[in-house]
Amino acid sequence: MVEIKTADELNKKFLREGMWPTIFCNGCGHGVVLEYTFWALEELGLDMDKVIFASGIGCSSRLPGYINADGLHTTHGRAIAFATGIKAADPDFHIIVFTGDGDCAGIGGNHFIHAARRNIDMTVIMINNFIYGMTGGQLAPTAPLGSVATTAPYGNIEHPFDICDLACALGANYVARWGVSHPYQPIKSIKEGLQKKGFSLLEFLAPCPTAYGRRNKLGDIKKHWAWYDDNTILIEDYEKIMTYGSEEEKEQVKDKIQLGVFQDIQKPGFFESYEKLVDRLKEKEAKTKEGKK
């Protein structure tokens, strides 16, 4: 195997021919998440014939189209349910679902909840840009309080959805949130997620200058990207400050979005449990037959 050292080499290996250029706007964060995923796949050396991608509807859900692999671009919010079936058909598959905040936390919330609860073996990469970008900037369930969208023209009054909190509560095996301006931790984290049995969630905060930024005084791409550095904090730093910091320091960080690994546990994945069930039935049947003899 040729060792890949540059992004160009990486793209040559993983991108699907004929799909270029992408639909993404200037300053969009989706391409970065795609590159992180490629690096993680490359470093793990997974057989790309057995890595299957699924997605729903929205900008992030277009990502599987750009990857040289099997991909199922499904209906809005349903990718995780489709992916459940794909995995059931062949236990050798590695399933990666690309989804957005509207697709996953909005219309697809119920599928997300139950796949996480069942601990279905898949890695969900939710790219959160606080907005319905593809349809032109409507209010998302993750939108910060007070933010403006075409359908929240006077500012959002709904509390934003913390999808990582939800996944942790459901007992997902691996839950992490990252941004798109520092590559090393997220790539390592995607690798960890992919190696997990059961359900893993990686949330990425990604800028959308076109649909979100312009309406929220972040239309300038540099300014928009800088917003994430100013408004996020590593879990470890957050906890340190909240435990040992001064009141002033606590005040500064209390509303920041935490980045890092929130949960890393080892519950058996759904298909492992299912195989055990099948084995139990076989044993029982064998015993019954034995008894009859």
Partner 1 sequence: MKYKRDPTRIREILGKKVQFILGDMACVYGGLLAGCSFFGGYPITPASEVAEGMARMLPRVGGTYIQMEDEIGSIAAVIGAAWGGSKSMTATSGPGFSLMMENYGFAVMTETPCVIVNVQRTGPSTGQPTLGAQGDMMQVRWGTHGDLEALAFAPSTVQECMDFTIEAFNLSEKYRNPACVMTDGEVGHLRERIVIPDEKDLKLIDRVTANIDKKKYIPFTNSQTRKNCKVPDFATFGTGYRTYVTGLTHNEKGFPATDKQPDHERLVKRITEKITDDADKLVMVEKLNLDDADIIFVTYGATARPAESAMEKGRKNGMKVGLLRLKLVWPFPDKLVTKLAKDVDKIIVPEMNLGQIVHPVSEYACKHCEVVSAPKIGGEMHLPMELYKYLEGK
Residues that bind partner 1 (CB under 8 A): 16, 18-19, 48-50, 52, 54, 64-65, 68-75, 78, 81-93, 110-111, 113-114, 118, 274-275, 277-278, 281, 285
Question: CA dihedral in degrees (232, 237, 243, 247; nearest 10)?
Answer: -50
Nearer to partner 1, 74 or 99 (CB): 74
Nearer to partner 1, 230 or 290 (CB): 290
Interatomic CA distance for residues 59 and 62, integer angstroms: 5
Radius of gyration of the chain (CA): 21
Minimum distance of partner 1 from residue 100's CB (angstroms): 16
| CB closer to partner 1 out of 66 and 204 | 66
CB of 63 to partner 1, least distance (A): 11
Rounded to the nearest whole angstrom, what is the least distance from the CB of residue 81 to partner 1 in the complex? 4
Query: At 288, which amino acid appears?
Result: T
What angle separates helix 184-195 from helix 30-44, to the nearest 10 degrees? Answer: 60
What burial class does residue 89 get, using C-beta atoms within 10 Å of its C-beta: 0-12 exposed, 13-18 middle, 19+ buried? exposed
Strand pairing of 51-55 and 94-100? parallel
The secondary structure of the chain in percent helix, strand, coil, rounded to multiples of 5, reads: 45, 20, 35
What's the token pair of residue 148? 């403006």
Nearest distance, CB of residue 166 and partner 1, angstroms: 14
CA atoms of 279 and 276, how far apart (whole Å) = 5
Instruction: Compute the least distance from the CB of residue 20 to partner 1, in Å.
Output: 11
Smaller CB distance to partner 1: residue 48 or 253? 48
CB-nearer residue toward partner 1: 50 or 159: 50
Closer to partner 1 by CB, 22 or 185: give it. Answer: 22
Minimum CB–partner distance for residue 53 and partner 1 (Å): 9
